Amino acid sequence: MKKYFLSIIALLLLAGCNQPPEVREIVLDPVWKFQTGNEIQWASPEFDDSQWPVISTADSWENQGYTNYDGYGWYRKTITLPDDILKAAQYYGGLLIRYDNADDSDALYFNGQVVDTTGSFPPDYLSLYGIKRAYTVPVEKIRTDGPNTIAVQVYDGGGDGGLLTSAFIIQPIAPAQDISLDYTVDAENGVFMGDDPRTLTVTVTNNEDKTTRSVIHLTVTTDDYQPVQESSYKARIKPGAGMTWGINLDITQPGFYRCTLRLETNGLKGEPTTFNVGYEPEKIVSPQDAQEDFDAFWAETRAELDRTPMRATMKLLREHSTGARNVYYVEMRSLDNQIMGGYYAAPKKKGKYPVIITYMGYGSNAWMPHTDGEPGFISFIVSVRGQGIYKPGNKYDNKWIVSGLEDKNTYYYRGAFMDLVRAIDFVCSRPEADTARIAAEGGSQGGAFTMAACALDDRIAVAAPTIPFLSDYRDYFRIVDWPRSDFDAYMREHPEAEWEDIYRLLTYFDIKNLAPRIKTPTIMAVGLQDETCPPHTNFAGYNLIPAPKEYRIYQENGHNTPPEWQEVRMDFFKKHLNLE
């Protein structure tokens, strides 16, 4: 009996020694060494970066002293991996490094050797801004007898640049497991309506040859990160089998919510899956906070614009006018005698034509309409002051949103909003334009511009704002990092400024305060996963429009829309312009 007992103990000890090591993750400090430029030796662990300055990966390099810098930047950090991380990395065959973003493309180097890239660098530049990064470092690249050097090469093609990630995470590779997690939001387009059940259907499938112990962890917060729900669901799943859960979401108030699902299998945590859902968006209430002189301010501003001679000029671009339409470069004067303009395309055949005015996104590079585009329509792609065709060398340092914040009469968007109206003035001055059939559209800032133009001018017959910007600032700044980060930088540079004064000024330019003035039939597109102009801010303005309106929510889209939106918005235009 004694011998049998000792054998059991020995077997237990042996089993304990052979237990796979635990897989945990570490989050690196966001302060890294940094240098602009592009030298491949900066990836080497032998390179001396002691004289390099430091910046944070949690913010753009523009906000940390590298104003208006576009091009390459390198981040470096040397770390000593904890013993348990090294042990698990050796056991499982490597490390997983992941972070949220890079603006715009990046390459990860580990101890001087490239691991992988996301996007691509010039001359075949491809931006993959907004895509989560995940790189696998094979065990042979890891130093077990000393520090390890991580270098990240980033290329920014315009606007803000940098890693733009607050959590740079390292963990051993989890053992390869053929365990899958799938989920479905049990609502059309991911948005729950009325009294319908607010549920997720989650399925875990075990394709391994042994039974697994699986746990689903669910976290739900509001879009501004207030906790709503945390729950876990356990199961033992036999080989080749699966299990499905119908999970109730504790969502009771209209709004948008962040959901995170994470599968843990046999004690090993998988990658989190994050997504947004909505509930009764048309019932979101974001009260107006317009000042008493709001209407007077805009009436006076409009009167000032009307006193400014337009003095428009047009230059035919013959090389771009080979098809059915002539394309022109146009310029004119707007409020404060500032220059704005754009590209204008009109059919060559004489007649009166409906017009589509396109307002551009924040900091977008200018583009021109195609000579054979939008048959039967005039197209006017508008560049407001300092943006679009005027972006190179503009006096606003690409920080339009915080320019002139000292006073509502000097704030950038006072003039920019009048540029929108001046674009309508120009269209209405053209003999080929059917001024009773003017449509307006635009995405992001262009979506906000579309709504502002309709609020400040009644000559637009139909509008299609897409993922609109510039709305509901107090809530906006709690939901996402930008543009709040630009305002934070402004406040650091202007210690005399007060937040309440800033918010008061912004009320004059907030789309939700302009929305009640819109009489134009409107269709709005929303990306449910948008982390730039989040859906809450889209609906803060939309819900206050008194005119006939519709919306489309695209469940899988972020700060963009699918190709089908172009057809949807054109059908809406034709309907309300009586062109069907």
158, part of any domain: yes
Q: Record the tokens describing residue 521, joined without a space.
A: 């039939």
Question: For residues 21 and 134, what is the distance between their CA atoms, to the nearest angstrom?
Answer: 22
Residue 424 sits in the same domain as residue 467: yes
Question: How many CB atoms sit inside 10 A of residue 176's CB?
Answer: 9
Question: How many CB atoms sit inside 10 A of residue 303's CB?
Answer: 9
CA-wise closest residue to 483 among 532, 528, 527, 412: 532
Q: What is the CA radius of gyration of the chain?
A: 28
According to DSSP, the residues that pair with 31 across neighbouring strands are 56
Residue 27 sits in the same domain as residue 148: yes
Instruction: Show which of 283, 309, 326 is a domain's final residue.
Output: 283
Question: For residues 540 and 478, what is the distance between their CA atoms, to the nearest angstrom?
Answer: 14
137, part of any domain: yes
Residue 274's contacts (CB-CB under 8 Å, 6 or more residues apart) are 258, 259, 260, 261
Residue 227 sits in the same domain as residue 319: no
pLDDT digit string (tens) for the chain, length 580 residues: 333 333 433 433 444 445 678 778 899 999 999 999 999 999 999 999 999 999 999 999 988 989 889 999 999 999 999 999 999 999 989 999 999 899 999 999 999 999 999 999 999 888 888 888 999 999 999 999 999 999 999 999 887 899 999 889 999 987 656 788 999 999 999 999 999 999 999 999 998 888 989 999 999 999 999 999 999 999 899 999 999 999 999 999 999 999 999 998 877 777 789 999 999 999 999 999 999 999 999 999 999 999 999 999 999 999 999 999 999 999 999 999 999 999 999 999 999 999 999 999 999 999 999 999 998 999 999 999 999 999 998 999 889 999 999 999 999 999 999 999 999 999 999 999 999 999 999 999 999 999 999 999 999 999 999 999 999 999 999 999 889 989 998 999 999 999 999 999 999 999 999 999 999 999 999 999 999 999 999 999 999 999 999 999 999 999 999 999 999 999 999 999 999 7
Question: For residues 450 and 467, what is the distance between their CA atoms, to the nearest angstrom?
Answer: 11
Residue 450 sits in the same domain as residue 508: yes
5, part of any domain: no
CATH code, 158: 2.60.120.260
Residue 277 sits in the same domain as residue 302: no
Residue 241 sits in the same domain as residue 305: no
Question: For residues 547 and 541, what is the distance between their CA atoms, to the nearest angstrom?
Answer: 12
Instruction: Show which of 283, 312, 337 is a domain's final residue.
Output: 283
6, part of any domain: no
Residue 427 sits in the same domain as residue 555: yes
Q: In what order do the strands lie in the sheet with 94-99?
A: 26-28, 168-172, 94-99, 133-138
Residue 475's contacts (CB-CB under 8 Å, 6 or more residues apart) are 224, 286, 536, 537, 540
14, part of any domain: no
Residue 393 sits in the same domain as residue 424: yes
pLDDT value of position 269:
75
Residue 94 sits in the same domain as residue 195: no
Three-state SS at 117: strand
Residue 123 sits in the same domain as residue 189: no
Residue 535 sits in the same domain as residue 562: yes
Residue 192 sits in the same domain as residue 333: no
Provide the residue range defining the domain that includes 260: 179-283
CATH code, 265: 2.60.40.10
Instruction: Show which of 243, 260, 283 is a domain's final residue.
Output: 283
CA-wise closest residue to 74 among 62, 64, 61, 65: 61
pLDDT value of position 353:
98
pLDDT value of position 208:
84
Question: For residues 573 and 241, what is the distance between their CA atoms, to the nearest angstrom?
Answer: 51
Q: Record the tokens describing residue 311, joined without a space.
A: 């003095």
Domain count, the chain: 3
Measured over the CA atoms of residue 384, residue 389, residue 394 and residue 397, the dihedral's sign is positive
Q: Is the CB of residue 549 less than 8 Å from the CB of residue 524?
A: yes
17, part of any domain: no
35: left (phi over 0), alpha (psi -120 to 50) or beta: beta
CATH code, 517: 3.40.50.1820
289, part of any domain: no
42, part of any domain: yes
